[in-house]
Amino acid sequence: MALFQIAEPGQAAEPHQHRLAVGIDLGTTNSLVATVRSGSATVLADETGATLLPSVVHYAADGQTTVGYAAQLRQSEDPRNTIVSVKRFMGRGVKDLPDSAATPYRFVDAPGMLKIKTVAGDKSPVEVSADVLRHLKQRAEDSLGGELLGAVITVPAYFDDAQRQATKDAATLAGLNVLRLLNEPTAAAVAYGLDNAAEGIYIVYDLGGGTFDVSILKLTRGVFEVLSTSGDSALGGDDFDQRIYCWVVENAGLSLLGDHDTRLLLTHAREAKEALTDHAETRITAKLADGEVVDLALSAEVFQQITAPLVQKTISPVRKALRDAKLDMSEIKGVVMVGGATRMPHVRRAVADFFGREPLTNLDPDKVVALGAAMQANALAGNKGDDEWLLLDVIPLSLGLETMGGLTEKVIPRNSTIPTARAQDFTTYKDGQTAMAIHVVQGERELVADCRSLARFELRGIPPMVAGAARIRVTFQVDADGLLAVSAREQSTGVEASIAVKPSYGLADDEIARMLQDSMQHASEDMLARTLAEARVEAESLIAATRAALASDGQLLDAEERAEVEAALARLQAASAGDAATEIRAQTDALNQATSEFAARRMDAAVKRGLAGQKLSELG
């Protein structure tokens, strides 16, 4: 007979009580939820046995919301109210969208992030994602029979701060306690590495529905250390569908397709792409709204030709990641393929050719991210397993601040291990300046205009001091989710301001990738621009100082001397309006020369005034 167990106060009755935690892969095209049950990770299925949930949400006029396959069925008939690939809009504004004509949606600009007009009202990408997450949460709770303690949500490694914050907000909105945001390739590495007891350096090549990531990890006795990461946040399987769609439109001689026909052909394009994984040829047959019938044969060879540039586009980030990790190809132990799009034979071949070895494809590319996330969720929830491991991840893009002249000062370089913090000191630019604008940016380029703006805030109440005397320490803290918080503090007075960086507006879909590429391509342009900006800053400060001096001590000059100074001032002003840095520097030097005598006289006068002042105070 079993004895009754009596728990100590404050302790669970059951010593091995399992806390329910899940991993969620919130994908561009499909989402999944997984958990660890009796020690092994499994993907949770719906009542029909399906594990993938299409990341599609349909909004009806009566306020009813459908998610997944049911929503996908409405896609052709009601494209405007059926939201697909919403991940592409996370943390983005209307002006960031590359080509809104390619989607059937009507966008509304809103502070922080765009919204999509539907019959059920304007929906932000965060709300749409929350509907997908809510559905997965329900599936998990039904399947596990209890309330969830929390979830690990995966994000592309190349997601910036705004996209990460938007994802976390969506999870919170769906009522999920976010245990951690986890980078997708890292999640895949955990699932792969723990399953295979892998040791050494591995590359994860993750081509999903809408994003491409590459991460290089060092696996040492249960520690997964990300050495570098790179990618393209707007490149994925969807783009391959788009190429087939364009090919169909061209070869069938179609023009000006409506929303319905576009959506129909895109669906057929996706099916053709999937068919070509196992077949040498496939047929695309569709009846358009006006009764016209499209009937074309697409061979694997033609498909490879029209998508070769997309495959090629994945190779540069791989090179970059290798370089950032200071690694040679020979040091790589294996290449792990993740994401549904890596099923395409020509993608696999391109990767094999580049690395000179066959990539590892012995895992389900659709599920491995969710499985890794589930393992991590289980560990974070405090369910002790047989093996313990540790993930050390990095930030994908450098974080910095805007300085004078629209230049970027990098505070935390890309591929820094998180959590990380860094402080940088700045000073005031003008005499008596009492406020300082802090503009936080993310990206690799030298000019702020070419980076992504994350947040702006002001440090106010700096006591008036001469220019350059204040010491303003700006501290960046990036937490284990890769999210940034910034604070600023004037050192001598302790005046403080801080902000948790919330997205102020978004990057265009391909902007991060473009920014990184551009930073390489335009490094020399940047140098020129930087030189010019610096010359201008110097010129402007000299102009301001000269004007102020003329106003306060102009009487120290005779008319001729004053005319000379003013002429030099005008010449510098003219030069500063132009684009020639050397000319600005030359005129800066000229004005400095023209005012040297004036400066000496002002110094004398100031000394005399100082002495006079001292006498007065002595007398008093």
Partner 1 sequence: MNHFDFSHDHFTLFGLPRAYRLDMATMETAFRALQTQYHPDKAASLTDADKRMALQAATRVNEAFQTLKSPLARARYLLLLAGVDTQEETNTAMPVDFLMQQMEWREAIADARAASDVDSLEALGRELRGVGRAMETDLGLLLDEQSAHAQAATVVRKLKFMEKLEQEVGDAIERLLD
Interface residue list for partner 1 (CB under 8 A): 19, 179-180, 220-221, 223, 225, 316, 319-320, 323, 376, 379-382, 388, 390-392, 416-421, 477, 479-480, 517, 520-521, 523
| Active-site pick, 127, 160, 184, 238 | 184
Whose CA is closest to 159, among 170, 173, 172? 170
Residue 8 bears catalytic tag: no
Residue 184 bears catalytic tag: yes
Backbone torsion region of residue 501, taken as left when φ is above 0, otherwise alpha when ψ lies between -120 and 50, otherwise beta: beta
Residue type, 253: G
Choose between 409 and 561: whose C-beta lies nearer to partner 1: 409
CB 180 within 8 A of CB 481: yes
Nearest-approach distance from CB 475 to partner 1, in angstroms: 11
Q: Which helix (H) or strand (E) holds 182?
A: strand 178-183
| Active-site pick, 46, 87, 218, 320 | 87
Whose CA is closest to 206, among 44, 379, 98, 363? 363
Residue 540 bears catalytic tag: no
The CA distance from 33 to 27, in Å, is 11
Q: Which helix (H) or strand (E) holds 96?
A: none
Nearest-approach distance from CB 546 to partner 1, in angstroms: 27
Whose CA is closest to 98, among 264, 233, 208? 233
CB 266 within 8 A of CB 245: yes
Side-chain-side CA neighbours of 497 within 13 Å: the count stands at 15
Nearest-approach distance from CB 518 to partner 1, in angstroms: 11
Choose between 417 and 427: whose C-beta lies nearer to partner 1: 417
Judged by DSSP in three states, 490 sits in: strand
CA distances to 77, 97, 212 from 290, rounded to whole Å, are 14, 30, 37
Nearest-approach distance from CB 179 to partner 1, in angstroms: 5
Pairing mode, if any, of strands 150-155 and 178-183?
parallel
Choose between 52 and 391: whose C-beta lies nearer to partner 1: 391
Buried b / exposed e along 15-35 (16+ C-beta atoms within 10 A): eeebebbbbbbbbbbbbbbbb
CB 270 within 8 A of CB 241: yes
Choose between 47 and 386: whose C-beta lies nearer to partner 1: 386
Nearest-approach distance from CB 401 to partner 1, in angstroms: 17
Choose between 216 and 379: whose C-beta lies nearer to partner 1: 379
| Active-site pick, 46, 131, 206, 509 | 206
Nearest-approach distance from CB 445 to partner 1, in angstroms: 13
Whose CA is closest to 87, among 212, 172, 190? 212
Residue 458 bears catalytic tag: no
CB 611 within 8 A of CB 619: no
CB 200 within 8 A of CB 224: no
Pairing mode, if any, of strands 484-490 and 496-500?
antiparallel
Rounded to 5 degrees, what angle do the CA atoms 161, 191, 482 make? Answer: 15
Name 225's bridge partners: 218, 392
Nearest-approach distance from CB 104 to partner 1, in angstroms: 35
Nearest-approach distance from CB 85 to partner 1, in angstroms: 28
Among all chains, which residue has been given the structure tokens 């059951």? 14
Judged by DSSP in three states, 412 sits in: strand
The CA distance from 137 to 602, in Å, is 74
Choose between 196 and 517: whose C-beta lies nearer to partner 1: 517
Nearest-approach distance from CB 448 to partner 1, in angstroms: 20
Choose between 349 and 422: whose C-beta lies nearer to partner 1: 422
Choose between 150 and 236: whose C-beta lies nearer to partner 1: 150
Nearest-approach distance from CB 218 to partner 1, in angstroms: 9
Choose between 392 and 544: whose C-beta lies nearer to partner 1: 392
Choose between 94 and 392: whose C-beta lies nearer to partner 1: 392
Choose between 19 and 602: whose C-beta lies nearer to partner 1: 19
The CA distance from 91 to 506, in Å, is 5
* 512 token code pair: 């991060």
Nearest-approach distance from CB 304 to partner 1, in angstroms: 22
The CA distance from 239 to 270, in Å, is 10
Whose CA is closest to 25, among 278, 331, 365? 365
Name 53's bridge partners: 31
The secondary structure of 349-360, three-state, reads: HHHHHHHCCCCE
CA distances to 217, 237, 290, 372, 596 from 187, rounded to whole Å, are 11, 20, 47, 4, 64
Catalytically active residues are 25, 87, 184, 206
